[in-house]
Structure 1
Amino acid sequence: MFGVAGQAGAVSFTAGDYDMAVYGYARFNASYDVDSNQALSTRSGSYSGLATNSGAAEGHFGADAFQSRLGVKATSPEGVMVNIEGDFRGSGGGSFRLRHAYGSYQNILAGQTWSNFTSFVGNTSTLDFDSLPGVAGYQSRTPQVRYTSGPLSLSLEDPRYSFVTTAANDISKNGMPTLTARLEDSADALSYSAAVLAHQIAYDDGTDDDSAFGFATFVAAKMAITDMITVQGSLSYTDGANSYLYRSGENFGAASAYVDLATGSVETISGYGGSIGAGINMGGGRSVNIGYGLVTVDWDDAEADGVAVQDQSETNSAVMANYKWTPVKNVMMGVEYQFLSRENVSGVDGDASRLLFAAQYNF
């Protein structure tokens, strides 16, 4: 299901004994940055440099179609399903990027797809492709092997972490896979998800080596208050796993650890975040969504141990509010206002206002 998340449908047919589906969409995104230029490819908002862009040129327009997507799914008579999907956000935008490439049979999935340490249950719908900071988990795809039984899923995944300093990253090593467990289910008007993650953070320069244990957890939920109104949100905590604290640090994942120069030991860095939002279905294919997200990373121990972290992002936050309209099936248009804010460890801060427009045509 997650492999085709966001698709309104697919072109289905039979090829030999296989059930086939081809799906995707063409997507146009445009943005206007009232303040400094914070646009990434797909016109998503960026936190990079936001705290130090005071005095930068104001008023920036841009547009692209890099979010456009194409996928194919095949199911054999034996029940083996294969899904391959990509978009055009690779290499800064314009080149094909592999999103999903996995197979599944019965309870076992292997390949690249959404991290098991991810949930969309508590996410507020945004036009920004990268969405709010603080939503649940990794919010991206990674190679893995996953076992699912009902609402419970377990996985072994390719590790994701980094050290504060380049020198430590140059000698980092992955000695073990990341282990995750997630429970996701619903009851009446409530949908909910909770997950935990554990991994090893290590370095080895041939002379000195050390490792530490990192973990992360989140809870997320969505409640249908009425037929028109939903409220949703999530809470996350990480220690030594800030790559899984969404949109922390410079933009996506903050550093998870540092090497204490006095002792050579690996020391973990913690963080927390959350998001909250509401959606209003106005009927006639119209909806309004508003959400707020925030993440904070605790750099105090690293700073006390003499690590240069003054320019690291301590807090990222955003407000996103949009109006979406579906005039006919498989067509969506919308406008969105964003207010992004960042504060560095040094106390330097900055913010930016942005406007987005999107038009999406599904098949």
Structure 2
Amino acid sequence: MAAYNNMIRRGALFSLSSLALAVSLSAQAYQFEVGDTTASIYGYAKLDLIYDVDNDLGVFGANPNVALDGEQVSTGHTRLHANQSRLAFETSTPTEQGALRTVIEGDFYGGGGGQFRLRHAYGEWNGIRAGQSETNFGTILGMTRIIDFKPQPGLANGARQGQLRYTTGGFSVALEEPGALGGGVASGFSAVNGRPAVHPNNKNSVPDVTMRYSGQAGDFRYGTSALLRRLGVDDGAEKNSATAWALNLEGEYRVSSAVTLRGSVTHGDGVGGYIEEAAGASAYVDPVSGEVKTIRATGATASIQLAAGPGNINLGYGYTTADLDGAVQDGVANAELANETMTDIHLNYIWSPIRNVSYGVEVSRHTRKIANGDDGDAVRLQGMVMYRF
């Protein structure tokens, strides 16, 4: 369910996972002047070639689609698509208090694939950003550079949502849409894929609050983020709610010109979809007492990038797990079938024969474990061709 699972700059055009494809290359943009305003158009066309050795993981390598051992599923699925192709428009207008900047960007993952979808739409002036943009909770520092559009489990989920953000120096604070990325209170879980079902009386009463500080010490870049949320249900007669929180630490260390290490840790109580491929839900309603109870979750990533020839070899691991013991003991619907732990391991080689052209090949292994201990795994092979402008 999207509600639970789910460096933009001219030289950083990509989503969290796809930024890996050309993060070391500066993108080109078509620029023109309109009065005092400089406008830029940029983007890329990308073909993804995917073969799922085991069961079909979908357009993304989604862990909830991994079949559990013993389930009867078809194997060997191929797809080719260009949904990640992107188009963006940016303006910059000088003022007496700094540049006024606007960004509108979209791709073609809308409608299940093939329709234009809004990604970014915001303005920024004098430290204030307003509109839809990537969350202020975490960034790409701890992310493995992979070809799959979906980042690895355990990463602080950098998807985009409505927000009002203020930045000064390395510090930023934001009020963010509470019902999108993080998700809300669950009434139970799906017996098919372990995903949570939104409670019919779920209520988003106040914005999520995020804070972040980023810095650099020599060849080490780091960031730390905090999240505060309010989760609740309200049927008009009775209200119940709980406070949720989360912390994130991430870093990137350039060991040498050929070796870069990255990693992150995220932990919280009620963090929900702010962790990529969140296992479990943000919270649930106790079917006996009606109390809203938050679910603790932890995520982590680690990777190494090695320069080789005209490109880089990337090897990375992602992990996320949720504490579902309380939901099982309280008798929440299908809690024993809920997703408890997800892991990914990716190995790829991404290279550029010429500027603005990138190729890549990748193999990945995805796992899923549910609360009753059953588990499964699946292997995906993926290639890509990207042309940037």
TM-score bracket, normalised by the shorter chain, equals over 0.9
Deviations 1:269-327 (CA, angstroms, capped at 9, x unpaired) = 011010000001124x2210010000001100111111131221110001001011100
Alignment of 1:276-355 (within 5 A): 276-283=302-309, 285-308=310-333, 309-355=335-381
Q: Establish whether residue 165 from structure 1 lines up as the match of residue 187 from structure 2.
A: yes
Confirm or deny: 8 A CA contact 1:168 1:259 kept in the other structure: no
Q: What is the match of residue 55 of structure 1? A: 72
Confirm or deny: 8 A CA contact 1:168 1:203 kept in the other structure: no
Confirm or deny: 8 A CA contact 2:303 2:315 kept in the other structure: yes
Q: Secondary structure at the match of 1:134?
A: coil
Q: What is the match of residue 19 of structure 2? A: none
Confirm or deny: 8 A CA contact 2:173 2:209 kept in the other structure: yes
Q: What is the match of residue 253 of structure 2? A: 223
Paired amino acid for 2:87: L
Paired amino acid for 2:384: A
| Structure 2: runs of 5+ lacking an equivalent | 1-6, 15-26, 189-196
Q: 2:292 aligns with which of 250, 261, 266?
A: 266
Q: Secondary structure at the match of 1:360?
A: strand
What is the alpha-carbon root mean square deviation over aligned residues? Answer: 1.4
Confirm or deny: 8 A CA contact 1:51 1:343 kept in the other structure: no
Paired amino acid for 1:48: P
Q: 2:45 aligns with which of 10, 18, 26?
A: 26
Q: 1:2 aligns with which of 4, 8, 11?
A: 8
| Deviation at residue 3 of structure 1 after TM alignment | 5.0
Between the aligned partners of 1:9 and 1:212, the Cα distance in structure 2 is 47
| Deviation at residue 240 of structure 1 after TM alignment | 1.0
Q: 2:30 aligns with which of 1, 8, 11?
A: 11
Confirm or deny: 8 A CA contact 2:185 2:233 kept in the other structure: no
Q: 2:90 aligns with which of 43, 64, 73?
A: 73
Confirm or deny: 8 A CA contact 2:302 2:316 kept in the other structure: yes
Q: What is the match of residue 151 of structure 2? A: 131
Paired amino acid for 1:196: A
Confirm or deny: 8 A CA contact 1:238 1:245 kept in the other structure: no
Between the aligned partners of 2:86 and 2:61, the Cα distance in structure 1 is 20
Between the aligned partners of 2:198 and 2:306, the Cα distance in structure 1 is 47
Confirm or deny: 8 A CA contact 2:186 2:281 kept in the other structure: yes
Between the aligned partners of 1:72 and 1:231, the Cα distance in structure 2 is 33
TM-score by length of 1: 0.94
Paired amino acid for 1:60: H
Q: Secondary structure at the match of 1:37?
A: coil
Between the aligned partners of 1:161 and 1:310, the Cα distance in structure 2 is 20
Size of the aligned set, in residue pairs, is 354
Confirm or deny: 8 A CA contact 2:364 2:381 kept in the other structure: yes
Q: 2:140 aligns with which of 117, 120, 124?
A: 120
Q: Secondary structure at the match of 1:120?
A: coil
| Deviation at residue 362 of structure 1 after TM alignment | 0.5
Between the aligned partners of 2:33 and 2:281, the Cα distance in structure 1 is 47
Between the aligned partners of 1:6 and 1:208, the Cα distance in structure 2 is 46
Deviations 1:242-264 (CA, angstroms, capped at 9, x unpaired) = 11111123xxxx41111112222
Between the aligned partners of 2:108 and 2:387, the Cα distance in structure 1 is 16
Q: Secondary structure at the match of 2:353?
A: coil
Alignment of 1:142-221 (within 5 A): 142-159=161-178, 160-165=182-187, 169-221=199-251
Deviations 1:68-123 (CA, angstroms, capped at 9, x unpaired) = 00000011132211100000001110001100000010111100001001211111
| Deviation at residue 171 of structure 1 after TM alignment | 0.8
Aligned-residue sequence identity (percent) comes to: 37
Q: Secondary structure at the match of 1:39?
A: coil
| Deviation at residue 49 of structure 1 after TM alignment | 3.5
| Structure 1: runs of 5+ lacking an equivalent | none
Between the aligned partners of 1:3 and 1:301, the Cα distance in structure 2 is 43
Confirm or deny: 8 A CA contact 2:53 2:380 kept in the other structure: yes
